[in-house]
């Protein structure tokens, strides 16, 4: 029996950098009523607490079944009379300076009009967004849909930053964190925290291609479900709920 359902956020549970939609809200609440749910994303905790968590309108009992793993799992938050930080693995000031210098070398020219900052400090992760953190969804969907621009950037960044994890995420972004602190790390930590085996968990994500920031989930032994959008995730959640046998 699957006891833990782990999801990516942007492109999986919600459109990129957008609030979770009402239909998905209901499905996630139904799943939380019968199982543990973890959401692991390149997003920072602030994005979770604006885009995702308030929309769910959960009572405290259901919140205690929800686990948040921002910055690709390099941090963990659980609910206990508020969202409590269990661990984090923040980059040092030296790390951040080095990452910014490498990005400055790789970003030869602006991708177009910037909507907000292009480089976001998420504590344990630095994220580059080609059109800015607040770019409209329609513009992001037209940018680098085949990921070729970011694949080339990532290849060069791997040369410049061999001691860091570098993953393509979302529609326009690249995530950079300490070596070893990727989604596989976060999945293993939440399994350990809850005392579950890999066979008791599943992972759902939209960036499960080589170089994608969900790809490392394959290393964990949990069953992985690649998706293309939240609509596909919704159908999977319906199946997960149906497959869960009620306990006596």
CATH number at residue 138: 3.30.1240.20
131 and 160 assigned to the same domain: yes
Residue 202 placed within a domain: yes
Residue 137 pLDDT = 86
Any alpha helices (H) in 107-180, and if so which ranges? 137-142, 148-160
43 and 85 assigned to the same domain: yes
First to last CA, the chain: 14
Q: Report the alpha-carbon angle 161-165-168, nearest 5.
A: 105
Domain termination residue (choose one: 126, 156, 178): 178
Hey, what long-range contacts does 224-228 have (CB within 8 A, 24 or more apart)? 227/12
pLDDT digits (tens, 9 = 90+) for 59-106: 999 999 999 999 889 899 999 999 999 998 899 999 999 999 999 999
Residue 188 placed within a domain: yes
59 and 122 assigned to the same domain: no
Per-residue pLDDT at 246 exceeds 80:
no
Task: Please give the helix or strand (H or E) that residue 225 lies within, else none.
Answer: strand 223-226
44 and 110 assigned to the same domain: no
Residue 248 placed within a domain: no
Domain termination residue (choose one: 141, 158, 178): 178
pTM, entire model: 0.86
Task: Give Cβ neighbours of residue 247 (< 8 Å, ≥ 6 apart).
Answer: none
Quickly tell me which residue has 């139904």 as its tokens.
Answer: 30
CA 201 to chain centroid, in Å, comes to 17
97 and 165 assigned to the same domain: yes
Longest CA–CA span in the chain (Å) reads: 61
Domain span including residue 232: 4-89+181-243
Residue 110 pLDDT = 60
Angle between helices 148-160 and 93-106 (to 10 degrees): 130
Per-residue pLDDT at 192 exceeds 70:
yes
Residue 156 placed within a domain: yes
CA–CA gap between residue 82 and residue 20 (Å, rounded):
21
Task: Give Cβ neighbours of residue 159 (< 8 Å, ≥ 6 apart).
Answer: none
Residue 1 pLDDT = 86
174 and 102 assigned to the same domain: yes
85 and 189 assigned to the same domain: yes
140 and 213 assigned to the same domain: no
The two tokens of residue 28 are 């996630």
Residue 137 placed within a domain: yes
CA–CA gap between residue 123 and residue 69 (Å, rounded):
13
66 and 28 assigned to the same domain: yes
Count of the separate structural domains present in the chain: 2
pLDDT digits (tens, 9 = 90+) for 27-40: 999 999 999 999 99
Predicted confidence band at 248 (pLDDT cuts at 50, 70, 90)?
very low
């Amino acid at each position: 029996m699957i006891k833990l359902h782990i999801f990516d956020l942007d492109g999986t549970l919600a459109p990129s950098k957008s609030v979770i939609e009402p239909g998905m809200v209901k499905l996630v609440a139904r799943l939380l009523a019968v199982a543990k749910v973890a959401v692991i994303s390149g997003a920072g905790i602030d994005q979770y607490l604006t885009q995702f968590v308030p929309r769910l309108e959960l009572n405290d009992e259901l919140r205690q079944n929800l686990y948040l793993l921002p910055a690709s799992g390099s941090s963990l938050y659980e609910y206990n009379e508020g969202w409590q930080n269990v661990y984090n693995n923040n980059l040092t000031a030296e790390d951040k300076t080095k990452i910014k210098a490498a990005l400055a070398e790789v970003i030869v020219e602006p991708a177009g009009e910037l909507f907000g900052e292009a480089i976001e400090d998420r504590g344990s992760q630095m994220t580059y967004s080609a059109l800015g953190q607040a770019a409209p969804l329609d513009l992001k969907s037209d940018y680098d849909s085949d990921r070729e621009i970011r694949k080339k950037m990532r290849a060069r960044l791997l040369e410049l930053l061999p001691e860091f994890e570098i993953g393509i995420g979302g529609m326009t972004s690249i995530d950079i964190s300490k070596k070893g602190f990727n989604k596989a790390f976060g999945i293993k930590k939440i399994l350990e925290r809850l005392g579950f085996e890999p066979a008791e968990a599943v992972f759902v994500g939209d960036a499960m291609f080589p170089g994608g920031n969900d790809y490392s989930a394959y290393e964990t032994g949990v069953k992985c479900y690649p998706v293309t959008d939240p609509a596909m995730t919704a159908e999977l959640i319906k199946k997960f709920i149906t497959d869960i046998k009620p306990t006596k």
